[in-house]
Amino acid sequence: MFADELAGNPAKKRADEARARRLRAKREKQAKQRRHEEEKKKASASTIASYATQNATSISESKDAKAVFDQAQENRNAALNITSGGDEKSAAAIAESLAAPELKSAAEKAAEQRKLRAEQRVATRAAVTIQSIIRSKQTAKIVRREQRAIFDKRIVDLVALSNILKSKSNQEYVAPQATATTMVAQFLFFAVPTLRDSALASDMILLGDDLSRWAQLVKYLLLPGVCGNNNIDLDPILPWMESLAGSRRFEKILTLCVKNIAFDHGKANRTKNSCCAIANSFMRAILRLDGNTYTGGGRDRVYKRSCSLLLPASATDSKNCDLFLSLRATLFFGPSLNSSPIPVDADRLHFSADRRERAGTLVKLVLDLISSLETSGAELMAICRLSSRFLVEILTVPLFSLKVISSSYDCLVREGRHGPSPLLVRYIRRFLSCNGDNLLDGGMETVLYNPDVSLNECNATPVLCLLGTLVQLGRASSALNGKSPSEIQYKPAAEYYNFLALLINAAPLGTFSSRMSAVEWVYNGSSSTPIVLSSAVIDQVSAIISASTVRGLFNCAIDNDALGTKTTLGNKTSKDKKHEQDLEELGSTSAANVAAKEAMTDRTNSIWRSGWAKKLQSLISGSGSSGIAKPTKIPSLSNGAGKLLNTSSISRQLANGKGPVDRTVTNAVMASEESNKTASELNHSAPRQDYSITLFFALCRVYCSILSRWGGYGKHDLVNRPLPEKQDKDHASATTEKCVTALLNVLCFSTSLLETAWAVVQSNPRVVSDLYAVIDVRKRGEAIRTLSSDPLYNRSVHTLGEAEGNVGAVILYIFTACLCHTLIVTDDVEIHDMEKPLPKHQLRRLILLQKKLLYRACCLDDVHEGTSKSQSVTSNSFGVALIAISANAMSDLYSRSSRRLLCSPKLWIEEDLLEKDMKRCKTHQDFISLLSVPICRICPFLVSYKCRLKLFERIVTTNRTEIQGSNELRNLRPGIMCTVNRSRVLEDGLAHLNKLGRDLRQRIVVSYLSEVGARETGVDVGGLFKEFWTDLSALAFNPDYALFKVAEGSPNMSMYPNPLSKLAHGQDHVVLFEFLGRILGKALYEGITIQPQFAHLFLSFLRGDHSYLHLLTDLSTIDTTLYNNLMFLKTYEGDVNDLCLNFTVSTDDFGVRGSEAEVPLVEDGVNVAVTNENKRSYIYLMAKYHCSDRIKEQSSAFTRGLWDVIDRSWLRLFNEPELQVLISGASDGRIDVADMKSHARYTGGYTMLDRNIVRFWSVVNKMSPKHQADLLRFVTSCERPPPLGFSSMNPPFTVQRIGIMRDGEKLPSASTCFNTLKLPTYSSEKVLRERLIYAIESGAGFELT
């Protein structure tokens, strides 16, 4: 029926009619133009002729009238000749030239005429072209309208015929190939613009009735022939492959299918949805999807052509029908192409169902086609490139999971049909195989760079968008999300999380920022513009650090039975036992006494000279020959991990004052642990058979990247090595973000990560080897600061293998970060008696390991010849953070050990540090320069206490010599006079000295007035100032004076600022504290040891580095009752809400209580209840308020005064107990008589062998410690020896001979300014003892001298 009509006369008839119409229109136009031109020429000629005649007449009367008249006549004739063939424009130009007649040559006039004629021709051609286009458009519109009518009539007949055939024989009507070709060409003619082949996307979108016609065309004309498998000859597409025009027709068909699924400028309706479904069915049919066997004959050629057009391997080869480009455009800008990539209200926005359906259709089509190509045996590299394009171009679209229906990408996250790995992991693997070389150079941002959408249009970087999409897809996959340990796939999950670690390291710094608006700077040459990152995308990424996600992942990744955690942590080697024995030998000696003894010990031989470049196993376990410990199946530690022990009953007893702080709790809890241990051993489960540690490594890499970049440790290079270049933008935050604190809370208190990580550090061969390379400069040439947490790409297997990259450093970092966080809420009882968070012998192993790491980072990196090549390598935020967190952990442990010894002091020391450097120093600036070396700034505890004391002493001495001069150099400068009345020591000192400020470094000459106002004898060469300080401290540090208060739980009566000093002294209390700080600084500056002992919490303020690590322990020394109550709360296993607590603290100032005395611990604390979830924060804030906030004003004033005289950096060399020894000497008051005797001098006739000297030392040896201290105070005005012993006393302790005739003539006397004892020659040892004790107990000044 259609063949005769399509091939018959109607078409010819229509062509003849159109040709006749065009000829008639052309003849009419030509006739009209001729008439118009003739009329215009006549009018122009008459105008020009009359003007020329008038002009010639007017000028003929001039001097040269004839010549000008002749010229005018020639112009007139020329004008008449020109206008006969010109137009109005030419005539106007001639008229203008005649209005101002000039004498022109013939050549110039000819050139003007040619120019005018050329312009006329151009204008004529332009007019003709415009008219032709308009006519063609109008004609085409008419023709398309006619063709649409013809097409509609044919399609109606075709539908009717198809329905009749289906109703009669239940068969689909398949139109002849010629019919299909003609109707498709007809539809393309009237529906698709044909101006150029490379039409814009919007040009291929069908609107109105054409959309319905297209649906009918595909459904009734193309689909039956494509889906019919019996007769290939009826396939309408096969003939198209034989010609270029047919190939272009097929490309347009595919373009229409893709564009009209992806885009739509109208409202969604049933016709549009039906069209999308039909187009999708057609493409899936020719692509052999959904079980369709589009094979045989020329169909293979159609299939290959379709695949190459729809999925080109690269964007450079793409056509209009490229699925990737259309899908990316509709995901970014919506079907109407006018939406924002990330709407302003994206966090509350629900994208329309039509938009999600359209995008989902294309996503599923792409994924199914790639899988089909993989199944059909396509080239592996082509599959990899397509998968890489999907990851780079589609998954980098912001909010992908919200813009697409979940069923379309479900195949990505479920187990694949061709292997155990989810399809998403295989796509990641293929992406790495295509871009692995670029990733080795840290080029993730370069690989994912897409120039089609700028950051100004889409306020989320491609890396951030991809990270958010992958996180959301991973949460939807049971094989990756860790919700069920039985469904987790360890190795694929490890690859997935390793890739996330790469993205996290490349993500913008604002990703996990705690600020309200995360900003990314866009660099445009010399300028930059801030862009606020999308909060919706950041929320998608933040799901990776949610508590439930972190907890579930690590519960799946940790199997302590398989890893042998308990056996590893409980194992003690001979070296561990040796360390315990060394600690037992020290007994109950306080840390301050140990420091004092160390300072007075002459270390001529090395204490620990074992080569540190041994295998790491020997360093951290002490067994050099035992090798690597193999994992042992032991009871699981996962049950109850992170929970508090049941010590409620014991805590209640302590709160009621029925027991001591330490042993009662210790014994009860240890007994409870033993019972729990037995139950655990009986009820443990067997290790999982499919367990692999690779997932644990990958998770540690992910969260290590977050902790190192946003934990506040990775921004500043503490070592301060010279760098070859500076990064354009920050890669790590300078402060700890809130999300990092929350993450550490989960890692430390909801998982067993801390114990497991430390066990893995000691037992896993790969981790041991990696750490050995980190600490041994000979094994790894790059400096520690250049370490990266990124996994390395394995070219051989095209994946991020678990053994690539430095896994050991990653495990060590995350363990150290968790340890530092755990120590904040761990008190000394838990560490020493309960062995929490780790056994003490394991902490000693950690000290040995971290000591070697810090020693290399501070002393060898970039200096040792083995690391010289790293000088040209930029620091990495992870390497910098590893150094910082290791130093922080070691400082915390050293501070803990300073309160109660964890190990012997020699375990901390790296021998011979700074010794050679100090010998080279001569001036004050030379010694000051040593304070800036990394070892002194980062980890001064690696240097022996004696060496640090020597450095401090040399700094102070050289500075004092420069300012005051010295007797030895004979340049002693006059001092500042200060007259002090013995009855007004504090008032006179405040009036004369407090105003000096930093000038207190000058020599102070004190002159005493007795209580009656008489000037006392004596010349102050330092001794009188010592006595002034002693008298002043006796008054100012008296608790009755209300400036300082004695810590009630301190065994040595240590003192701290009185929180109520303001009530006793008013606003003057700040001035008093500043003055006392300056006087203490002056005492340190002059080398005077003083009597008062300060509390640990106050010494932290003096160092200028107040640590909140010891809040609970500090609280136990100043308020035992409150401490016991908080410990009860910490271990309370019931509902804390029952206790009716809130975040406020009530003060009791001299018994006055009231509502105004309630201080909120947090904002609106009275309305914030204490719960089981926030009770740790409540305990911390309570301890902080009592140990820090209440005395902050007083402590700050005291430190300001102290730092006026003693630079803050000088005190950073010491921790709190060491600083106490520096201030007050040995804390127990005992004097080393042997040291005193060996460094004493004798004058006036005495010698060491004189019998009176022998009697004197015999008497001193037999004295009580109190009398020995009184003797030392009598001679030197200070009852404690210098920190470095009597060898550093200046002037030295001296005994001067005083001859007498009778024993009763004179008492022993002293010159404190010269540290000289004036000892008379008594007749016997008994008399000497009696007279000496009487003299030192008399308490007089110089009157007895």
pLDDT on residue 203: 56
Nearest residue to 808 via CA among 855, 863, 742, 878: 878
The SS3 of residue 1309 is: strand
Question: Is the model's pLDDT at 797 over the cut of 60?
Answer: no
N- to C-terminal Cα distance for the chain? 143
**pLDDT per residue as tens digits for the range 91-147:** 555 445 544 444 567 888 888 888 898 998 999 999 889 988 888 888 888 988 899
Which whole number is the average pLDDT over 468-483? 92
Sorting pLDDT into bands at 50, 70 and 90, what band is 1109? low
Structure tokens at 251: 């490309």
For residue 1229, the cross-strand partners are none
pLDDT beyond 70 at 633: no
What is the torsional sign of CA 651, 655, 658, 662?
positive
- The average pLDDT across 1008-1031 equals 73
Give the residue-averaged pLDDT of 1101-1109: 76
The answer to whether the CB of 1327 falls within 8 A of the CB of 1291 is no
Distance CA 289, CA 295 (A): 12
CA atoms within 13 A on the CB side of 1314: 16
**CB neighbours (10 Å) of residue 472?**
19
227 against 744, higher pLDDT: 744
Per-residue pLDDT at 540 exceeds 80: yes
Question: Residues 1169-1192: what's their mean pLDDT?
Answer: 89
d(CA 1209, CA 1213): 8
Where is pLDDT greater, at 496 or 211?
496
Identify which of 979, 493, 441 has the alpha carbon closest to the alpha carbon of residue 691.
493
Q: What is the pLDDT of residues 1300-1341, one digit of tens each?
A: 988 888 899 988 777 899 999 999 999 999 999 998 887 544
pLDDT over 50 at 523, yes or no: yes
Residues 174-197 have a mean pLDDT of 80
Average pLDDT, the chain: 79
Take residue 678 and report the two structure tokens written for it: 């037995």
Largest CA distance in the chain: 161
The HSE-up count of residue 1068 (CA atoms within 13 Å, CB side) is 7
Backbone phi, psi, residue 566, to 5°: -65, -40
Residue whose tokens read 């509609």: 152
Predicted confidence (pLDDT) at residue 1261 exceeds the cutoff of 50: yes
pLDDT greater than 90 at residue 518: no
Calculate ∠ Cα 1096-1102-1106, nearest 5°: 70
The mean pLDDT of 83-97, rounded to a whole number, is 49
Residue-by-residue DSSP string for 305-319: HHHHHHS-SSGGG--
**194 pLDDT exceeds 60?**
no
Token duo for residue 747: 């890692």
pLDDT at res. 613: 32
Task: Specify the higher pLDDT residue, 101 or 708.
Answer: 708
Residue 527 has pLDDT above 70, yes or no: no
pLDDT of residue 63: 40
- Kindly write down the DSSP assignment for every residue of 739-784, as one continuous string: HHHHHHHHHHHSS-HHHHHHHHHHH-HHHHHHHHHHH-TTT--S-G
pLDDT of residue 758: 96
- Helix H, strand E, coil C: the string for 406-465 is HHHHHHHHCECCCCCCEHHHHHHHHHHHHHHHHHHCCCHHHHCCCCCCCCCCCCCCHHHH
Structure-token match 């990316």, residue found: 328
Both tokens of 301, joined, read: 């050629």
- How many other C-beta atoms lie within 10 A of the C-beta of residue 1322? 24
- Given a cut of 90, whether residue 557 has pLDDT beyond it is yes
Report how far residue 477's alpha carbon sits from residue 470's, in angstroms, rounded to the nearest whole number.
Answer: 11
- What is the model's pLDDT at position 663? 36
The percent of residues above 70 in pLDDT, for the chain, comes to 78
pTM: 0.78
Q: Is the pLDDT of residue 672 over 80?
A: no
- Distance from C-alpha of 893 to C-alpha of 887, rounded to nearest angstrom: 10
Q: By the 8 A CB rule, do 386 and 434 touch?
A: no
535 near 468, Cβ under 8 Å? no
Lowest-pLDDT choice from 355-364, 882-891, 1171-1180? 1171-1180
Give the number of C-alpha atoms closer than 13 A to the C-alpha of residue 298, restricted to the C-beta side. 13
Count of residues making up the chain: 1345
Q: What percent of the chain has pLDDT over 90?
A: 25
Q: Quick one: tokens of 443? A: 């080029």
Nearest residue to 327 (alpha-carbon basis) of 290, 293, 381, 369: 369
| Angle subtended at Cα 124 by Cα 121 and Cα 127, rounded to the nearest 5 degrees | 150
Model confidence over 886-905: pLDDT tens digits? Answer: 999 999 899 888 888 888 88
pLDDT of res. 268: 53
| H or E element that contains 1145 | strand 1144-1146
Minimum mean pLDDT range among 204-218, 683-697, 922-936: 683-697
Give the up-direction half-sphere exposure of residue 791: CA atoms within 13 A in the CB hemisphere. 31
Angle 977-981-987 from CA coordinates, rounded to 5°? 85
* Range with top average pLDDT, 75-84, 567-576, 719-728: 567-576
Would you state the pLDDT for residue 260? 85
Q: Using CB atoms within 10 Å of the CB of residue 195, give its burial: 0 to 12 exposed, 13 to 18 middle, 19+ buried.
A: exposed
- Dihedral of CA atoms 601, 604, 610, 616 in degrees, nearest 10, equals 50
9, pLDDT greater than 70: no
pLDDT tens digits, residue range 1034-1088? 888 888 888 998 887 676 778 999 988 888 888 888 899 999 999 899 888 888 8
User: pLDDT higher for 665 or 417?
Assistant: 417
Quote the pLDDT of residue 1073: 92
Are 423 and 371 contacting, i.e. CB atoms less than 8 angstroms apart? yes
Which pLDDT value is given to residue 272?
Answer: 66
